[in-house]
Structure 1
Amino acid sequence: MIPPIERIAQTGSTNADLLARLAAGEHVGEGHWLVADRQTAGRGRLGRAWGDGLGNFMGSTVVQLRAGDPLAATLALVAGVALAKTIRALAPAIDFQLKWPNDILADGAKCSGILLERSGDSVVIGIGVNLVSAPDLPDRATASLAEKGAAIDRDRFADALAVAMADALWTWRQEGVESIVRAWLPLGHPVGTPLHVSEQALDGYFDGLAPDGALRLRGADGEVMLVHAGDVELRRPVEEGK
């Protein structure tokens, strides 16, 4: 069954709308989605603006935290796995990978954004996917799935993502974070990928994920550091002699 999807023509931010409902005491059931045709005040991690585009996917959903759930922060991996599996199902010819914890990259260009915001025992997960057009960002390359050869209807994408998110959430609860980690790894950048973590100014190489979902970053000296949160960028490999 497809979880309930509420579709609206325009709003400032689907995340902000759901957070406001929760703050007002409104019950928003887990799995409920709010999807907008246009979004005028979308935002990403670290307060970055995220432009909209008619035909793109812009939506948010709610997870109601329960006793015994894994750490709420690991929902970032859950969202990434659900999103990647949705794209793989609807656009199998596109070559893409997950960048820790949940960005979708195609040929190194960002195709999506995910923002988690907590309100009490609720987590609002906002997802934006460049289905038909990509915003211009000053600090990174962006691309749309249409540019990569995939024509995906927004409503069909919303239905598939809602189901994939429900499935991944069930796995997270019933089988633990380790199961989500195992699902993430084949979808992510390969071991040895050069990475930079901007907040901590760390450079190193991807060395897989820890059982709790933390990024394993191997330094040039071979020491492995665990990164639990941070803005990660892919670095260009340094060529011999340069």
Structure 2
Amino acid sequence: MRVLAETGSTNADLLAALAEGQRAMEGDWLLADRQVAGRGRQGRAWSDGAGNFMGSTVVSLGDGGPTAETLSFVAGLALYEAVLPFLPTPGTLTLKWPNDLLLEGAKLAGILLERSGETIVMGFGVNLAQAPELTDRPTIALSETGPAVPRDLFAERLAASLATELERWRSFGVELILRRWQAAAHPVGTPLTVSPPGEQEMRGYFAGLEPNGALRLRLADGTIRAIHAGDVMLIDGER
């Protein structure tokens, strides 16, 4: 693991290195003590915080393997499994489609996946010590439920967890990953609001996942809408 005292974005650093022809290997991580231009999904800013985890790694896509889009669920499961041992009450940790991690209904962590050729850059931001204030949703830090977890210890756990989940993804395919992801997510029937790109917000109920990982949203009239992209909020949890 390579640690920078400060950078704009660890994802952007790795993408720039790949664009310059540098080789990045699976298992190599780039971490930052401070990240001044961190990004979340759909271009949102992701605030850093002293003692939090901010880091990125790469995954190589191989011929005949599962599709790149399903790596979102691999990353989410890896993060879920890495955080779980540090919680006094594991049942309060849930995944939200596609890969946000919620603790007691508040956002604990987020993941950003970006592609460069046949390489996926995975960026993780985890509120270990402190949580940024967001205007559109509650946030939480791991330190609010117990002792703060040292960043480097968490980095080792996450790296090991991701390596395990990638091996499962390649060996057993997507079906097992999606089944395990759904078991760690909010229950079927959870009321949601969804804002697909370019469309108005819609309300419905979580109805599981499509075989390709799309979210199944059951609308008020009983029809099922497959959501491939968009903002998802828990009506009775995250707002």
Pair 1:32-2:28 in alignment: yes
Q: Select the residue among 129, 132, 138 that pairs with 1:132.
A: 129
Q: TM-score, normalised by structure 2?
A: 0.93
State how far apart, in whole Å, the 1-side matches of 2:174 and 2:221 are: 29
Contact conserved, 1:178 with 1:213, CA < 8 A, in 2?
Answer: no
The share of aligned pairs that are identical, in percent, is 58
State how far apart, in whole Å, the 2-side matches of 1:22 and 1:180 are: 28
Q: Select the residue among 173, 177, 181 that pairs with 1:180.
A: 177
Q: What is the alpha-carbon root mean square deviation over aligned residues?
A: 1.4
Q: Select the residue among 85, 92, 101 that pairs with 1:89.
A: 85
User: Displacement of 1:229 after TM fit?
Assistant: 1.8
Q: Select the residue among 52, 58, 64 that pairs with 1:62.
A: 58
Q: Which residue of 2 aligns with 1:142?
A: 139
- Structure 2 unpaired stretches of 5+: none
State how far apart, in whole Å, the 2-side matches of 1:90 and 1:148 are: 9
Pair 1:73-2:55 in alignment: no
Q: Which residue of 1 aligns with 2:213?
A: 213
Q: Aligned in 2, Cα 1:59/1:9: closer, same or farther, shift over 3 Å?
A: same
The CA deviation string for residues 74-120 of structure 1, in whole angstroms up to 9 with x for no partner, is 11111000000111123252421111111111222111111011111
Pair 1:119-2:116 in alignment: yes
State how far apart, in whole Å, the 2-side matches of 1:229 and 1:154 are: 31
State how far apart, in whole Å, the 2-side matches of 1:150 and 1:187 are: 24
Q: Which residue of 2 aligns with 1:155?
A: 152
Q: TM-score, normalised by structure 1?
A: 0.92
Task: Give the letter for the 1:193 counterpart.
Answer: T
SS at match of 2:144: coil
SS at match of 1:132: coil
State how far apart, in whole Å, the 1-side matches of 2:24 and 2:155 are: 18
User: Displacement of 1:183 after TM fit?
Assistant: 1.3
Contact conserved, 2:36 with 2:48, CA < 8 A, in 1?
Answer: yes
State how far apart, in whole Å, the 2-side matches of 1:198 and 1:224 are: 15
SS at match of 2:143: coil
Contact conserved, 1:37 with 1:55, CA < 8 A, in 2?
Answer: yes
State how far apart, in whole Å, the 1-side matches of 2:148 and 2:87 are: 8
SS at match of 1:84: helix
State how far apart, in whole Å, the 1-side matches of 2:217 and 2:224 are: 5
User: Displacement of 1:213 after TM fit?
Assistant: 1.5
Contact conserved, 1:91 with 1:150, CA < 8 A, in 2?
Answer: no
SS at match of 1:146: helix
Task: Give the letter for the 1:116 counterpart.
Answer: L
Q: Which residue of 2 aligns with 1:240?
A: none
User: Displacement of 1:148 after TM fit?
Assistant: 2.3
SS at match of 1:220: coil
SS at match of 1:212: coil
Q: Aligned in 2, Cα 1:151/1:144: closer, same or farther, shift over 3 Å?
A: same
Contact conserved, 2:11 with 2:56, CA < 8 A, in 1?
Answer: yes
Contact conserved, 1:216 with 1:224, CA < 8 A, in 2?
Answer: yes
